[in-house]
Every structure is written in C-alpha cells, then in structure tokens.
Amino acid sequence: MYQRQNDQLKEYQETVVSINRVSKKTKGGNRMRFTALVVVGDKKGKVGIALAKAPDVRGAITKAFYTAKRKMVKISLRGGTIPCSVTEKYSAARVLLKPAPAGTGIIAGGPMRVVLEAVGVRDAVGKILGTKNKISNVYATLNALKTITKIAERKERRER
C-alpha cells in the first residue's frame, strides 16, 4: 500500500491499495492499461473509494483519486471506534467488524486496515472471512461501515 499527500488537497489522505495491469486483445496486438484502487479519507468520518483505468499508472491513480473524492460518504463513529459489530458480504468477500476498547488499535488485514484508517477509526477488530481479493474486501468494508451508519442513525432516531 502506497500513501501520498496531494499538494492542493492536504486535508485528505490518499492510499493506493492496488495497481493491476490489464490487457485487451485487439486486431493490432495487445492493448495494455492499468487499474488503480484508491481509498481517500479525511480521518474525521468521511471516506471514498474508487477503481479507475488509464493507459498509464499515474493517470489511473489521479483519475481514481478524484472519483473517490466525489464519492465520499459520512460514517458514524463513537469516539475512536465503531458503534456496533457487523458482518457484511460483497461478491465473494465477507468481512467482520467489531468495536474495541480504547488503546487496542486497528487489528485487521491490509485492505480493511486502509479503509478503517482513512475513516479515522483508532480502535477496531476486523476479520476477512471470504476471498483474499483486495478490491472485493475494500468494497465489503465500505458496505459494512455504511451498514453501521444506518444502524447508528436508527438507534438515534429511536432514542429521540
């Protein structure tokens, strides 16, 4: 995982989770392109994820960064952890997220850890249960965080 700070937008942390080379058979030969999976977060509860393709690596990363910035979503947090436990499935990926006491840190696999750090979670336990595909696991983690946000909003509405 590669992290860089963009000069113009210092408030966002950008992390490149994976870069893949893809090729397409054409009449003139193989056409090579690159895909980049980028996670962007402000460490205050907002995160965005994007997968973009371009003829070169730098173009794919830049395109993914701006797309992820546009697709940012707000996630509910309680202190430095998540409000509740959740299991989420996306394609063949299954992830389990649990809150943890203060001082525990993030105990999770690579792709899940990147998303949790970008959101601003300091203490959580996560487990990747299904496939080891980074793209599927990143999207499953984002879906789990969205589910947690829905649960937290419902709980707040009930209390009022």
Q: Indicate the domain borders of the chain.
A: 2-73, 75-159
| Residue 47, φ and ψ in degrees, nearest 5 | -145, 150
Cα 72 to Cα 95: distance, rounded to the nearest angstrom: 21
Mean predicted confidence (pLDDT) in 114-128? 95
**Are 2-73 and 75-159 equal in CATH topology?**
no
85-119 residue pLDDT tens: 999 999 999 999 999 999 999 999 889 999 999 99
First to last CA, the chain: 42
Least confident of 6-20, 46-60, 61-75, 128-142: 6-20
Q: Domain 2-73 adopts which CATH fold?
A: Double Stranded RNA Binding Domain (3.30.160)
Q: Domain 75-159 adopts which CATH fold?
A: Ribosomal Protein S5; domain 2 (3.30.230)
**Whole-model pTM?**
0.89
Confidence label for 2 from pLDDT (cuts 50, 70 and 90): low
Q: What is the pLDDT of residue 159?
A: 87
Give me the count of residues in the chain.
160
